[in-house]
């Protein structure tokens, strides 16, 4: 069974820590962007998310949101699944979308990465 709580590191050096996974699947934690962001001034950011009931499936899906500091006006949403590999190691496969605030609908095309 894959347990999401704990500390995780991505291939690009980003770090996520899930502090507590509630019985309802909700969790909170922290996110620290890695070297891929190119911004050494960014501090650890809070995250909030939820995981599918691990009692129903051994490799649950999950999602979480990171709200960046107010001066950047960005939100990133992560969606993925927690797998147990052949050697028993837990692996997260995740996709993300990042949204920046824009000043008008005409700028909407460039707001999501």
The beta-carbon contacts of 60-63 under 8 Å, at least 24 apart in sequence, are 60/2, 60/4, 62/4
Q: How far apart are CA 59 and CA 44, in angstroms?
A: 27
Say if pTM beats, i.e. exceeds, 0.75. Answer: yes
Helix count and strand count (H, E) for the chain: 0, 7
Judge: domain 6-110, CATH 2.40.128.30. yes
**What is the average pLDDT value for the chain, to the nearest integer?**
86
The residues, ordered by sequence, that sit 6+ positions from 12 with a Cβ below 8 Å of its Cβ are 34, 35, 36
Q: What is the mean pLDDT of each run of 10 residues along the chain (113 residues)?
A: 87 89 91 66 83 86 87 87 91 93 89 88
Q: Burial, 65: exposed, middle or buried (Cβ in 10 Å; 0-12, 13-18, 19+)?
A: middle
For residue range 52-73, what is the model confidence (pLDDT) as tens digits?
A: 987 888 889 999 999 887 667 8
């Amino acid at each position: 069974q894959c347990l999401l709580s704990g500390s995780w590191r991505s291939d690009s050096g980003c770090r996520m820590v899930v502090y507590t996974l509630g019985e309802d699947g909700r969790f909170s934690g922290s996110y620290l962007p890695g070297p891929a962001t190119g911004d050494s001034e960014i501090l650890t950011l809070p995250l909030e998310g939820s995981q599918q009931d691990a009692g129903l499936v051994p490799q649950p899906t999950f999602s979480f949101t990171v709200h960046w500091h107010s001066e950047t006006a960005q939100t990133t949403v992560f969606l993925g699944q927690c797998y147990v590999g052949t050697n028993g190691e837990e692996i997260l496969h995740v996709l993300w979308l990042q949204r920046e605030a824009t000043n008008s609908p005409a700028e909407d095309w460039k707001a999501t990465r």
